[in-house]
Protein backbone atom coordinates (compact mmCIF):
# COMPACT_ATOMS: atom_id res chain seq x y z
CA UNK A 1 0.00 0.00 0.00
CA UNK A 2 3.02 2.32 -0.02
CA UNK A 3 1.94 3.75 -3.37
CA UNK A 4 -0.95 5.38 -1.47
CA UNK A 5 1.60 7.81 -0.09
CA UNK A 6 1.93 9.32 -3.56
CA UNK A 7 -1.81 10.12 -3.69
CA UNK A 8 -2.33 13.68 -2.45
CA UNK A 9 -5.70 15.01 -1.29
CA UNK A 10 -6.22 18.75 -1.00
CA UNK A 11 -7.12 20.31 2.34
CA UNK A 12 -9.17 23.46 1.83
CA UNK A 13 -8.42 26.36 4.24
CA UNK A 14 -11.42 27.91 5.99
CA UNK A 15 -9.71 30.47 8.20
CA UNK A 16 -7.06 31.24 10.80
CA UNK A 17 -7.39 32.43 14.40
CA UNK A 18 -4.92 33.14 17.21
CA UNK A 19 -5.13 30.99 20.34
CA UNK A 20 -2.68 29.50 22.84
CA UNK A 21 -3.65 26.49 24.93
CA UNK A 22 -5.40 23.21 24.22
CA UNK A 23 -8.60 23.39 22.17
CA UNK A 24 -11.26 20.66 22.09
CA UNK A 25 -14.69 20.40 20.47
CA UNK A 26 -17.67 20.33 22.83
CA UNK A 27 -21.19 19.17 21.93
CA UNK A 28 -23.69 21.87 21.06
CA UNK A 29 -21.45 23.93 18.77
CA UNK A 30 -18.96 24.86 21.49
CA UNK A 31 -15.19 24.74 21.97
CA UNK A 32 -13.17 24.53 25.17
CA UNK A 33 -9.82 26.29 25.61
CA UNK A 34 -7.48 25.00 28.33
CA UNK A 35 -4.51 27.08 29.46
CA UNK A 36 -2.23 26.53 32.46
CA UNK A 37 -4.76 27.42 35.14
CA UNK A 38 -7.98 28.19 33.31
CA UNK A 39 -10.67 26.49 31.25
CA UNK A 40 -12.92 28.55 28.97
CA UNK A 41 -15.95 27.58 26.89
CA UNK A 42 -16.63 29.48 23.66
CA UNK A 43 -19.22 29.53 20.92
CA UNK A 44 -17.42 27.70 18.12
CA UNK A 45 -18.30 29.99 15.20
CA UNK A 46 -17.44 33.13 17.18
CA UNK A 47 -14.16 31.68 18.44
CA UNK A 48 -13.03 30.66 14.95
CA UNK A 49 -13.93 34.18 13.76
CA UNK A 50 -11.53 35.62 16.35
CA UNK A 51 -14.05 36.67 19.00
CA UNK A 52 -12.81 36.04 22.58
CA UNK A 53 -15.96 36.22 24.70
CA UNK A 54 -16.24 32.97 26.69
CA UNK A 55 -19.71 31.82 27.69
CA UNK A 56 -18.26 30.17 30.82
CA UNK A 57 -14.89 30.09 32.61
CA UNK A 58 -13.24 28.10 35.39
CA UNK A 59 -10.04 28.80 37.31
CA UNK A 60 -8.50 25.37 37.82
CA UNK A 61 -6.90 24.23 41.07
CA UNK A 62 -3.32 22.89 40.67
CA UNK A 63 -3.28 19.35 39.26
CA UNK A 64 -7.00 19.36 38.37
CA UNK A 65 -8.75 18.25 35.18
CA UNK A 66 -12.16 19.55 34.12
CA UNK A 67 -14.73 19.17 31.35
CA UNK A 68 -17.68 21.37 30.40
CA UNK A 69 -21.03 19.91 31.41
CA UNK A 70 -23.95 19.80 28.96
CA UNK A 71 -26.25 22.66 29.80
CA UNK A 72 -23.50 24.73 31.40
CA UNK A 73 -21.08 24.49 34.29
CA UNK A 74 -18.21 22.04 34.71
CA UNK A 75 -17.25 18.69 36.17
CA UNK A 76 -13.90 18.91 37.96
CA UNK A 77 -11.61 16.06 39.00
CA UNK A 78 -9.06 16.81 41.72
CA UNK A 79 -6.59 14.75 43.75
CA UNK A 80 -9.18 13.56 46.27
CA UNK A 81 -12.61 14.52 44.94
CA UNK A 82 -14.86 14.95 41.91
CA UNK A 83 -17.31 17.84 41.93
CA UNK A 84 -19.84 19.47 39.64
CA UNK A 85 -20.12 23.24 39.38
CA UNK A 86 -23.09 25.22 38.12
CA UNK A 87 -22.59 28.20 35.79
CA UNK A 88 -21.21 30.91 38.03
CA UNK A 89 -19.23 28.51 40.21
CA UNK A 90 -21.70 27.20 42.81
CA UNK A 91 -21.04 23.56 43.80
CA UNK A 92 -23.85 21.22 42.77
CA UNK A 93 -22.35 18.10 44.35
CA UNK A 94 -19.04 16.67 45.53
CA UNK A 95 -17.78 13.08 45.72
CA UNK A 96 -14.62 12.46 47.80
CA UNK A 97 -12.30 9.51 47.03
CA UNK A 98 -8.84 8.18 47.91
CA UNK A 99 -6.06 10.65 47.19
CA UNK A 100 -3.82 10.00 44.20
CA UNK A 101 -0.29 11.11 45.15
CA UNK A 102 1.53 10.23 41.95
CA UNK A 103 4.95 9.24 43.30
CA UNK A 104 6.98 12.17 44.60
CA UNK A 105 4.75 14.78 42.94
CA UNK A 106 2.14 16.77 44.85
CA UNK A 107 -1.29 15.09 44.79
CA UNK A 108 -3.14 15.50 41.50
CA UNK A 109 -6.25 14.30 39.71
CA UNK A 110 -5.92 10.69 38.52
CA UNK A 111 -7.64 11.56 35.23
CA UNK A 112 -10.16 13.76 33.46
CA UNK A 113 -13.93 13.32 33.92
CA UNK A 114 -16.21 12.69 30.92
CA UNK A 115 -19.82 13.93 31.08
CA UNK A 116 -22.08 12.13 28.63
CA UNK A 117 -23.47 14.33 25.83
CA UNK A 118 -27.05 13.92 27.08
CA UNK A 119 -26.25 15.35 30.52
CA UNK A 120 -27.34 12.23 32.43
CA UNK A 121 -24.07 10.60 33.54
CA UNK A 122 -20.44 11.40 34.28
CA UNK A 123 -17.67 8.81 33.76
CA UNK A 124 -14.55 9.15 35.90
CA UNK A 125 -11.81 6.92 37.30
CA UNK A 126 -10.65 7.04 40.89
CA UNK A 127 -7.66 5.35 42.59
CA UNK A 128 -7.79 2.57 45.19
CA UNK A 129 -5.50 3.17 48.14
CA UNK A 130 -4.83 -0.17 49.88
CA UNK A 131 -4.42 -0.73 53.63
CA UNK A 132 -0.79 -0.79 54.76
CA UNK A 133 -0.83 -4.52 55.48
CA UNK A 134 -1.77 -5.25 51.84
CA UNK A 135 0.80 -2.98 50.18
CA UNK A 136 3.68 -5.47 50.15
CA UNK A 137 1.73 -8.25 48.46
CA UNK A 138 -0.82 -6.55 46.19
CA UNK A 139 -0.02 -3.00 45.29
CA UNK A 140 1.83 -0.77 42.92
CA UNK A 141 3.82 0.99 45.63
CA UNK A 142 4.70 4.68 45.55
CA UNK A 143 7.20 6.09 48.02
CA UNK A 144 6.17 9.66 48.82
CA UNK A 145 8.17 9.75 52.01
CA UNK A 146 6.58 8.25 55.08
CA UNK A 147 4.13 6.66 55.15
CA UNK A 148 4.60 4.31 52.18
CA UNK A 149 1.50 4.24 49.97
CA UNK A 150 0.30 1.45 47.73
CA UNK A 151 -2.45 1.38 45.15
CA UNK A 152 -4.57 -1.37 43.69
CA UNK A 153 -6.47 -1.17 40.41
CA UNK A 154 -8.47 1.95 39.61
CA UNK A 155 -12.27 2.00 39.58
CA UNK A 156 -14.35 3.31 36.71
CA UNK A 157 -17.39 5.12 38.14
CA UNK A 158 -20.59 6.26 36.47
CA UNK A 159 -22.06 9.14 38.43
CA UNK A 160 -25.50 10.69 38.23
CA UNK A 161 -24.82 14.07 36.61
CA UNK A 162 -27.44 15.79 38.74
CA UNK A 163 -26.56 14.43 42.18
CA UNK A 164 -23.10 12.79 42.01
CA UNK A 165 -24.56 9.47 43.19
CA UNK A 166 -22.56 6.44 42.07
CA UNK A 167 -24.81 4.64 39.59
CA UNK A 168 -22.27 1.96 38.59
CA UNK A 169 -18.73 0.92 39.47
CA UNK A 170 -16.21 -1.36 37.75
CA UNK A 171 -12.54 -2.20 38.50
CA UNK A 172 -10.21 -1.64 35.54
CA UNK A 173 -6.70 -2.79 34.63
CA UNK A 174 -4.90 0.45 35.40
CA UNK A 175 -3.26 2.31 38.25
CA UNK A 176 -3.97 6.04 37.84
CA UNK A 177 -2.20 6.34 34.51
CA UNK A 178 -3.31 8.26 31.42
CA UNK A 179 -6.85 7.59 30.29
CA UNK A 180 -9.22 8.24 27.42
CA UNK A 181 -12.99 8.17 27.92
CA UNK A 182 -15.15 8.57 24.81
CA UNK A 183 -18.96 8.66 24.78
CA UNK A 184 -21.15 7.69 21.86
CA UNK A 185 -23.09 10.75 20.66
CA UNK A 186 -26.33 9.27 22.04
CA UNK A 187 -24.85 8.54 25.47
CA UNK A 188 -25.70 4.82 25.24
CA UNK A 189 -22.11 3.55 24.89
CA UNK A 190 -18.82 4.41 26.56
CA UNK A 191 -15.40 3.42 25.25
CA UNK A 192 -12.62 3.64 27.83
CA UNK A 193 -8.89 3.05 27.72
CA UNK A 194 -6.28 3.29 30.43
CA UNK A 195 -2.49 3.41 30.33
CA UNK A 196 -0.24 2.23 33.13
CA UNK A 197 3.53 2.70 32.94
CA UNK A 198 5.35 -0.44 31.66
CA UNK A 199 2.02 -2.12 30.88
CA UNK A 200 0.69 0.02 28.03
CA UNK A 201 -2.97 0.61 27.23
CA UNK A 202 -5.99 -1.53 28.15
CA UNK A 203 -9.30 -0.75 26.46
CA UNK A 204 -12.96 -1.62 27.05
CA UNK A 205 -16.33 -0.69 25.65
CA UNK A 206 -19.29 -0.61 27.97
CA UNK A 207 -23.03 -0.12 28.07
CA UNK A 208 -24.42 1.88 30.99
CA UNK A 209 -27.76 0.64 32.26
CA UNK A 210 -30.04 1.10 35.23
CA UNK A 211 -28.58 -2.00 36.93
CA UNK A 212 -24.87 -1.40 36.36
CA UNK A 213 -22.08 -1.07 33.82
CA UNK A 214 -21.90 -3.98 31.41
CA UNK A 215 -18.56 -4.65 29.72
CA UNK A 216 -19.31 -5.50 26.08
CA UNK A 217 -15.76 -6.22 24.96
CA UNK A 218 -12.06 -5.48 25.31
CA UNK A 219 -9.62 -4.10 22.77
CA UNK A 220 -6.45 -5.83 21.67
CA UNK A 221 -3.30 -5.46 23.75
CA UNK A 222 -2.08 -1.85 24.10
CA UNK A 223 -4.83 -0.22 22.07
CA UNK A 224 -6.07 3.28 22.94
CA UNK A 225 -9.58 4.53 22.13
CA UNK A 226 -9.59 7.17 19.38
CA UNK A 227 -13.33 7.84 19.00
CA UNK A 228 -16.73 6.70 17.73
CA UNK A 229 -17.66 6.88 14.04
CA UNK A 230 -20.76 9.12 13.76
CA UNK A 231 -24.00 7.42 12.85
CA UNK A 232 -22.87 3.99 14.04
CA UNK A 233 -21.82 1.99 17.09
CA UNK A 234 -18.34 1.56 15.62
CA UNK A 235 -15.23 3.05 17.15
CA UNK A 236 -11.53 3.17 16.39
CA UNK A 237 -8.54 2.18 18.54
CA UNK A 238 -4.87 2.94 17.94
CA UNK A 239 -1.81 0.94 18.96
CA UNK A 240 1.50 2.79 19.06
CA UNK A 241 4.95 1.22 19.13
CA UNK A 242 5.91 1.88 22.75
CA UNK A 243 9.30 0.19 22.69
CA UNK A 244 8.64 -2.04 25.68
CA UNK A 245 10.27 -4.94 23.82
CA UNK A 246 13.13 -5.08 21.34
CA UNK A 247 10.83 -5.84 18.42
CA UNK A 248 7.98 -3.55 19.48
CA UNK A 249 7.76 -1.40 16.36
CA UNK A 250 4.14 -2.15 15.49
CA UNK A 251 1.58 0.59 14.85
CA UNK A 252 -1.97 -0.45 13.99
CA UNK A 253 -5.58 0.67 13.84
CA UNK A 254 -8.59 -1.47 14.71
CA UNK A 255 -12.24 -0.78 13.95
CA UNK A 256 -14.70 -2.32 16.43
CA UNK A 257 -18.46 -2.72 16.51
CA UNK A 258 -19.61 -2.15 20.08
CA UNK A 259 -22.88 -3.97 19.41
CA UNK A 260 -21.12 -7.15 18.25
CA UNK A 261 -20.66 -8.33 21.83
CA UNK A 262 -20.11 -11.95 20.81
CA UNK A 263 -17.40 -11.05 18.28
CA UNK A 264 -14.18 -10.08 20.07
CA UNK A 265 -12.25 -9.56 16.83
CA UNK A 266 -12.27 -6.11 15.19
CA UNK A 267 -14.32 -5.70 12.04
CA UNK A 268 -11.30 -4.16 10.27
CA UNK A 269 -7.59 -3.72 11.01
CA UNK A 270 -4.73 -1.84 9.41
CA UNK A 271 -1.02 -2.35 10.06
CA UNK A 272 0.14 1.25 9.78
CA UNK A 273 3.68 0.12 9.09
CA UNK A 274 2.38 -1.00 5.68
CA UNK A 275 2.17 2.70 4.80
CA UNK A 276 5.78 3.36 5.67
CA UNK A 277 8.89 3.50 3.51
CA UNK A 278 11.10 3.52 6.63
CA UNK A 279 9.53 1.53 9.48
CA UNK A 280 12.33 2.22 11.95
CA UNK A 281 11.99 6.00 11.64
CA UNK A 282 8.31 6.59 10.90
CA UNK A 283 5.97 7.19 13.84
CA UNK A 284 2.18 7.34 13.87
CA UNK A 285 1.14 9.75 16.60
CA UNK A 286 -2.66 9.97 16.62
CA UNK A 287 -5.95 8.93 15.01
CA UNK A 288 -8.94 11.27 14.68
CA UNK A 289 -12.51 10.69 13.46
CA UNK A 290 -13.44 13.49 11.03
CA UNK A 291 -16.94 12.31 10.06
CA UNK A 292 -18.87 9.15 9.27
CA UNK A 293 -16.70 8.44 6.24
CA UNK A 294 -13.16 9.59 7.08
CA UNK A 295 -10.38 9.21 9.63
CA UNK A 296 -7.23 11.31 9.86
CA UNK A 297 -3.99 9.76 11.13
CA UNK A 298 -0.98 11.93 12.00
CA UNK A 299 2.50 10.61 11.34
CA UNK A 300 6.16 11.37 10.83
CA UNK A 301 6.83 10.42 7.23
CA UNK A 302 10.16 9.56 5.64
CA UNK A 303 9.70 9.90 1.86
CA UNK A 304 11.79 7.96 -0.61
CA UNK A 305 13.76 11.16 -1.17
CA UNK A 306 14.08 14.04 1.25
CA UNK A 307 14.05 14.61 5.04
CA UNK A 308 11.50 13.42 7.59
CA UNK A 309 8.33 15.52 7.65
CA UNK A 310 4.96 15.63 9.41
CA UNK A 311 2.14 14.21 7.34
CA UNK A 312 -1.57 13.44 7.69
CA UNK A 313 -3.12 10.30 6.20
CA UNK A 314 -6.77 10.10 5.17
CA UNK A 315 -8.47 6.72 5.68
CA UNK A 316 -11.97 5.43 5.03
CA UNK A 317 -13.94 5.03 8.25
CA UNK A 318 -15.82 1.94 7.09
CA UNK A 319 -12.84 -0.33 6.36
CA UNK A 320 -9.69 1.61 7.39
CA UNK A 321 -8.69 1.78 3.73
CA UNK A 322 -5.86 4.29 3.06
CA UNK A 323 -7.02 6.96 0.61
CA UNK A 324 -3.85 9.07 0.45
CA UNK A 325 -1.99 11.86 2.20
CA UNK A 326 -3.46 15.30 2.83
CA UNK A 327 -1.85 18.22 1.02
CA UNK A 328 -1.72 21.57 2.85
CA UNK A 329 -0.60 24.96 1.53
CA UNK A 330 1.51 25.43 4.69
CA UNK A 331 3.45 23.17 7.10
CA UNK A 332 1.42 21.33 9.75
CA UNK A 333 2.38 19.40 12.88
CA UNK A 334 0.73 16.50 14.68
CA UNK A 335 -1.89 18.56 16.54
CA UNK A 336 -5.36 17.90 15.10
CA UNK A 337 -8.71 18.92 16.61
CA UNK A 338 -11.68 17.31 14.81
CA UNK A 339 -14.80 19.45 15.13
CA UNK A 340 -17.36 16.72 14.45
CA UNK A 341 -18.67 18.24 11.22
CA UNK A 342 -15.99 16.95 8.85
CA UNK A 343 -13.71 19.94 9.47
CA UNK A 344 -10.70 20.11 11.73
CA UNK A 345 -8.08 22.42 13.23
CA UNK A 346 -4.29 22.29 13.10
CA UNK A 347 -1.83 24.37 15.09
CA UNK A 348 0.97 26.53 13.73
CA UNK A 349 2.56 28.16 16.78
CA UNK A 350 -0.11 30.48 18.20
CA UNK A 351 -2.27 30.15 15.06
CA UNK A 352 -5.14 27.69 14.71
CA UNK A 353 -5.97 26.86 11.09
CA UNK A 354 -9.40 25.55 10.11
CA UNK A 355 -9.70 23.00 7.25
CA UNK A 356 -12.14 20.88 5.29
CA UNK A 357 -11.64 18.18 2.68
CA UNK A 358 -11.72 18.88 -1.02
CA UNK A 359 -15.26 18.40 -2.31
CA UNK A 360 -14.20 15.28 -4.20
CA UNK A 361 -13.74 13.58 -0.81
CA UNK A 362 -16.70 15.14 1.01
CA UNK A 363 -18.62 12.62 3.12
CA UNK A 364 -21.78 11.29 1.48
CA UNK A 365 -25.07 11.74 3.30
CA UNK A 366 -25.37 8.98 5.92
CA UNK A 367 -28.00 6.33 5.21
CA UNK A 368 -31.19 6.40 7.31
CA UNK A 369 -30.60 4.78 10.66
CA UNK A 370 -32.70 1.68 11.29
CA UNK A 371 -33.15 2.67 14.91
CA UNK A 372 -31.27 3.99 17.95
CA UNK A 373 -28.24 2.26 19.36
CA UNK A 374 -29.28 -0.09 22.15
CA UNK A 375 -30.20 2.00 25.16
CA UNK A 376 -30.31 5.27 23.21
CA UNK A 377 -33.41 7.40 23.20
CA UNK A 378 -34.91 7.98 19.77
CA UNK A 379 -35.38 11.69 20.48
pLDDT at position 369 is: 44
pTM listed for this prediction: 0.87
pLDDT digits (tens, 9 = 90+) for 313-325: 999 999 999 999 9
Element (H, E) at 93: strand 91-96
Taking residues 143-156, report their average pLDDT: 72
* Predicted confidence (pLDDT) per residue in 275-299, tens digit: 877 776 678 889 999 999 999 999 8
Residue 357: closest CA among 316, 309, 321, 319? 316
Q: What is the pLDDT of residue 87?
A: 92
Of residues 138 and 10, which shows the higher confidence score?
10
Q: How far is CA 10 from the centre of its chain?
A: 26
Mean pLDDT estimate for the chain? 84
C-alpha–C-alpha distance, residues 175 and 262, integer Å: 28
Note the residue count of the chain: 379
Question: What's the confidence (pLDDT) of residue 17?
Answer: 96
**Structural Rg of the chain based on CA atoms:** 21
Q: Would you state the pLDDT for residue 375? A: 44
Q: Which residue has the higher pLDDT, 341 or 177?
A: 341
Who's near 247: CB < 8 A, 6+ residues apart?
Answer: none
Amino acid sequence: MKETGDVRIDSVPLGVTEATGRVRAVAGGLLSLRTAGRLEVHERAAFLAGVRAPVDTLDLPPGAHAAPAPGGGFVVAEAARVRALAPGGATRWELPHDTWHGGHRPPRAPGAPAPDPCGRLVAVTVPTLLPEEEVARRAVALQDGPPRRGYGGDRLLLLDAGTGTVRAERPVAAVAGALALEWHAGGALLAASFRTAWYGWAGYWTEPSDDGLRILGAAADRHEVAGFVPGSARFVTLRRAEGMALDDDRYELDLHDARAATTPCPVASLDLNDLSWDVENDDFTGAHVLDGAHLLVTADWVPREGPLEHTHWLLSADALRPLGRLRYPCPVGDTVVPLGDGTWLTRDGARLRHWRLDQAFAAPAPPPRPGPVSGERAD
